[in-house]
Amino acid sequence: MVSRGDIELAGLSKSYDGVHSVVHGINLKIPDGAYCCFLGPSGCGKTTILRMIAGHEDPTDGEIVIGGENVVGLAPVQRGTAMMFQSYALFPHLSVRDNIAFALRVRGMSKADRYRQTDAMIEKVRLTELAERLPAQLSGGQQQRVALARAAITEPRVLLLDEPLSALDEQLRVQMRLELQRMQRELGITFVHVTHSQLEAIALADMVVVMEAGQIKQAGPAREVYASPMDRYVAEFLGGQNVLSGKVETIEGGRLMFAQPDRMTLAAPLRGNLRVGIGDRIDVAVRRDDIELLRPNAAISPQNQSALSSRVLAIEYQGSFVKVMLDAIADEEFVAYVPERVFFKDPLSIGDVVLATWAIDHARLLERT
């Protein structure tokens, strides 16, 4: 049974010049009513995918199936999609009400009818007081609500949002994030949201799709993508992880030992589906909040814990935790998030030598791509 607003991308590709493709053969299923975030750096093709789903860009190859119907070649309205543009693209000469009523107007609905329907929508996004204003007279957050209402009035089965929060300042962004969630619950339709902010993606999405250079790196629930990244790219892009790399020395009892250049040998648990052999180069991720910092003379149990001796490079107070930067790996970041109370029991200072330790079972072997 195919639901109305589920999306399936099959072998979707896009090339502007016939030589370089910006999207290579994407395959993805987004369930009906999901909040899906495409996450990636600028130029990774996420916006192009969104625009292809919206019908503002034609795929070079592949299919876009919405609710069981291939929509390639159809106009946006026929697809049942609506898009919210990056800068909102509100019509500057029309009032809030006329902006929202635009879709009804071009359908030839009479003024009385469309205003009745529009006013209901205006109430839903709490803009009743501002209905007569022009877009230029609204704040960023209000403009976003108008854009949302203007797109939603077409009763789409899929709402596509192109970096909807990037035009707002930090505080408003958090507020509007909640608003988007509320609207999605209320409308009960599929949201596809493109962003380069991992904070935004994991806060909002049921499904996060991490992209790199036109390809999907990992797709799954927010927690899965954040806590169990597949490879170094995903781990580094989502943040919150330290990535160690080295050469496998021994494999024994469900664990492997790997040596980092000029550093001590560390252990990591094997993962069922990942095949590694002795001598392979591997990446291992350790969550920054799994790392405990001990004074150099502290006792550890080498059976269950890994430890790296290192020096404190910098300390940043973050409120609920303290970010401690260490020189544990050459030329790369190694950071520990220490809970605020724990840190201030025995505060460290820059230049101190510490043991960065973590439970071996919390280390995660990454795929090498």
Residues 93-122 that bind another protein (CB under 8 A): 93, 95, 102-103, 105-107
Pick from 9, 50, 52, 131 the residue near another protein by CB under 8 A.
Answer: 131
326 counts as binding another protein under rule CB under 8 A: no
Q: What is the DSSP string of 87-125?
A: T----TTS-HHHHHHHHHHHTT--HHHHHHHHHHHHHHT
Q: Closer to another protein by CB, 56 or 362: give it.
A: 56
For residue 232, which phi and psi values (nearest 5 degrees)? Answer: -60, -40
Per CB under 8 A, the segment of 21-29, 39-47, 76-84, 169-177 that binds another protein is 76-84
8 Å CB contact between 140 and 168: yes
Q: Is 83 in the site for another protein (CB under 8 A)?
A: yes
Name the minimum Å distance from CB 71 to another protein: 14
Residue 132 sits in the site that holds another protein (CB under 8 A): yes
Q: Of 146-154, 185-193, 267-275, 312-320, which part binds another protein (CB under 8 A)?
A: 146-154
Select from 27-35, 127-135, 177-185, 326-334 the region that touches another protein (CB under 8 A): 127-135
List, in order, residues 6 or more apart from 364 with CB less than 8 Å away: 228, 229, 268, 271, 284, 285, 286
CA distance 151 to 134: 17
126 binds another protein per the rule CB under 8 A: no
The answer to whether 188 touches 173, Cβ cutoff 8 Å, is no
Give the binding range for another protein (CB under 8 A) out of 25-33, 36-44, 48-56, 201-209: 48-56
Region binding another protein by CB under 8 A among candidate stretches 84-92, 176-184, 262-270, 352-360? 84-92
β 7-15/61-66 pair status: antiparallel
Residue 86 in contact with another protein, rule: CB under 8 A: yes
CB 364 within 8 A of CB 273: no
Restricting to residues 167-206, which ones interact with another protein according to CB under 8 A?
none
**Residue 345 CB burial class (10 angstroms; 0-12, 13-18, ≥19):** exposed
C-alpha span between 362 and 285 (Å, rounded): 9
Q: How far is the CB of 91 from another protein (least distance, A)?
A: 6
Give which of 25, 70, 34, 55 is closest to 211, Cα–Cα. 25
Is 43:119 a contact under the CB 8 Å cutoff?
A: no
Q: What is the nearest approach in angstroms of another protein to the Cβ of residue 77?
A: 4
Residues that bind another protein (CB under 8 A): 54-56, 75-77, 81-83, 85-87, 89-93, 95, 102-103, 105-107, 131-134, 137, 150-151, 154
